[in-house]
């Protein structure tokens, strides 16, 4: 017989490694499924309008209040060149114009886009 005093049992250490694995898997999942939008090349305030559908196009033509264009990371004349190289079967071109842009200037931009072969465009607005 063993008459030595019984050693108190220590609680087993909690396994934290599986929890860390789950956290990292969730982090990877959210990073892989997130849609990261590129920042706008300059600050614009879209015009007010009612109705319409939300825009889904990723690459947009940005027009500032002074009509300087930006498309796909290119600005100025390079933006017009990038628009000329846009495929014909692409989705309608999404235009993000500033509310301060005069309508006559926007009409000239639309005419220039038609000259490049882009006939289908959508203008982004903000709800009233």
66: which residues sit within 8 A by CB, 6+ positions away? Answer: none
pLDDT > 90? residue 2: no
Find the mean pLDDT for residues 111-123.
88
Distance CA(48)–CA(39), nearest Å, equals: 22
pLDDT tens, 18-61? Answer: 899 999 999 999 988 887 777 777 777 777 777 666 666 667 89
Contacts of range 88-94, beta carbons closer than 8 Å, 24 or more positions apart: 88/117, 91/57, 91/120, 92/57, 92/120, 92/121, 92/122, 93/57, 93/60, 93/61, 93/118, 93/120, 93/121, 93/122, 94/55, 94/57, 94/59, 94/60, 94/61, 94/121, 94/122, 94/124
SS3 call for 122: strand
pLDDT tens, 50-83? Answer: 766 666 666 789 999 888 999 888 888 999 999 8
Find the mean pLDDT for residues 87-111.
88
What does the pLDDT read at residue 117?
A: 87
Q: Which of the two residues, 70 and 119, has the higher pLDDT score?
A: 70
Percent of the chain predicted with pLDDT > 90: 24
pTM of the model as a whole = 0.62
Question: Exposure of 107 by Cβ count < 10 A (0-12 exposed, 13-18 middle, 19+ buried)?
Answer: exposed
Q: Which of the two residues, 15 and 62, has the higher pLDDT score?
A: 62
């Amino acid at each position: 017989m063993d008459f030595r005093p019984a050693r108190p049992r220590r609680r087993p250490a909690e396994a934290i490694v599986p929890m860390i694995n789950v956290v990292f898997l969730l982090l990877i999942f959210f990073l892989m499924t997130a849609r990261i939008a590129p920042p706008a090349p300059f600050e614009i305030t879209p015009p007010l309008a009612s109705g319409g559908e939300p825009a889904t196009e990723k690459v947009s033509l940005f027009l500032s209040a002074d009509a300087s264009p930006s498309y796909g990371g290119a600005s100025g004349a390079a933006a017009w060149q990038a628009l000329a190289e846009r495929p014909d079967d692409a989705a309608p071109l999404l235009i993000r114009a500033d509310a301060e842009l005069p309508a006559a200037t926007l009409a000239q931009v639309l005419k220039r886009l038609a000259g490049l072969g882009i006939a289908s465009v959508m203008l982004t607005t903000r709800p009233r």
